[in-house]
């Protein structure tokens, strides 16, 4: 019940920032139009690039805009706050709480993601569907599989961002690493271009990286590119990375919380 309360509290906290949510919706929608027309030009020259037709490519664009804030593809999400608490030393208070540090921040991030899915996910997708011909599924089962995939995407995203935040125990200021992580996420998640577009062995390689779990896999689930066994393998791929990265985060957390740093004499 503790972590459920943390998630609910995080949801309510982000719900209070209504102006920021509206601004985010407008930003996602505007960028969605820019990327959509870029894709239209690209798919006009290569009609089946990456195995997608134009409607599927448009759906990929708006799925990316819908999940941009949900999976925190460009930022640390609420874990920027964790980095700051490590830098200032306030993390010592967190470690005295009768709660697991990793689970606490995971619950808070799930609450944040839930609000962002409703606030900044639904509206851009709806606008895209009104203006462009999208290849959205009509089966409820596909939508349920998509939502499950999105949940796993958020967990993988959290696990990676948690590792970046924990690096502040050693770096003291993790802003540079956060920037590098954000750039890597944008490229390797499929936000710039679907990973299926990349050629040869490089294309296969990037689809094995954890960032692929954050956008490429959920988008393929929504597009119906993963069905049956391929769907199960996609969800297992996401779950596998989630478990592996959370376990690694647990090990790094254990090492980090044994480290004592005194600044200022």
Q: What is the pLDDT of residues 212-226, one digit of tens each?
A: 999 999 999 999 888
Alpha-helical (H) ranges within 70-174 are 79-88, 91-95, 101-116, 122-131, 140-166, 168-171
Task: Estimate to the nearest angstrom the gap between the alpha carbon of 166 and the chain centroid.
Answer: 18
| Domain locations along the chain | 2-256
What is the percent of the chain with per-residue pLDDT over 90, rounded to a whole number?
63
Mean pLDDT, rounded, for 53-69: 93
Per the prediction, the chain carries an average pLDDT of 90
Has residue 187 got a pLDDT over 80?
A: yes
Residue 109: its pLDDT value, please? 94
Residue 48: its pLDDT value, please? 87
Tell me which of 239 and 192 has the higher pLDDT: 239
| Token pair 């490089």 in the structure block, residue | 202
Using pLDDT thresholds of 50, 70 and 90, give the confidence band for residue 264: very low
CA–CA distance, 210 with 218 (Å, rounded to integer): 13
pLDDT in tens, 117-164: 998 889 999 999 999 999 999 899 999 999 999 999 999 999 999 999
CA–CA distance, 39 with 30 (Å, rounded to integer): 14
Has residue 263 got a pLDDT over 80?
A: no
Has residue 261 got a pLDDT over 70?
A: no
pTM (predicted TM-score): 0.92
Using pLDDT thresholds of 50, 70 and 90, give the confidence band for residue 96: confident
CA–CA distance, 151 with 134 (Å, rounded to integer): 23
Please state, as a whole number, how many other Cβ atoms lie within 10 Å of the Cβ of residue 233: 12
Residue 93: its pLDDT value, please? 87
Has residue 171 got a pLDDT over 80?
A: yes
pLDDT in tens, 23-39: 989 999 999 999 999 99
Mean pLDDT, rounded, for 158-176: 88
């Amino acid at each position: 019940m503790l972590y459920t309360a943390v998630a609910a509290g995080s949801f309510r906290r982000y719900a209070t920032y209504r102006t920021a949510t509206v601004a985010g919706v407008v930003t996602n929608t505007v960028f969605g139009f820019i990327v959509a027309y870029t894709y239209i030009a690209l798919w006009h020259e290569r009609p089946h690039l990456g195995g997608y037709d134009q409607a599927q490519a448009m759906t990929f664009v708006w799925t990316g805009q819908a999940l941009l804030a949900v999976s925190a593809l460009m930022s640390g999400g609420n874990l920027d706050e964790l980095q700051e608490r490590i830098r200032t030393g306030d993390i010592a208070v967190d470690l005295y709480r009768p709660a697991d540090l990793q689970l606490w921040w995971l619950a808070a991030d799930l609450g944040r993601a839930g609000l962002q899915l409703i606030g900044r996910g639904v509206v851009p997708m709806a606008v895209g569907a009104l203006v462009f011909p999208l290849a959205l599924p009509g089966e409820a089962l596909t939508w349920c599989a998509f939502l499950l995939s999105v949940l796993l995407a958020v967990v993988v995203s959290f696990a990676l961002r948690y590792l970046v935040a924990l690096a502040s125990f050693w770096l003291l200021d993790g802003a540079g690493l956060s920037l590098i992580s954000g750039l890597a996420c944008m490229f390797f998640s499929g936000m710039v271009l679907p990973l299926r577009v990349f050629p040869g062995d490089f294309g296969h390689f990037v689809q094995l990286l954890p960032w692929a779990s954050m956008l490429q896999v959920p988008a393929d689930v929504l597009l119906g590119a993963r069905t049956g066994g391929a769907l199960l393998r996609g969800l297992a791929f996401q779950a596998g990375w989630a478990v592996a990265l959370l376990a690694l985060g647990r090990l790094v957390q254990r090492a980090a919380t044994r480290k004592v740093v005194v600044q200022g004499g």
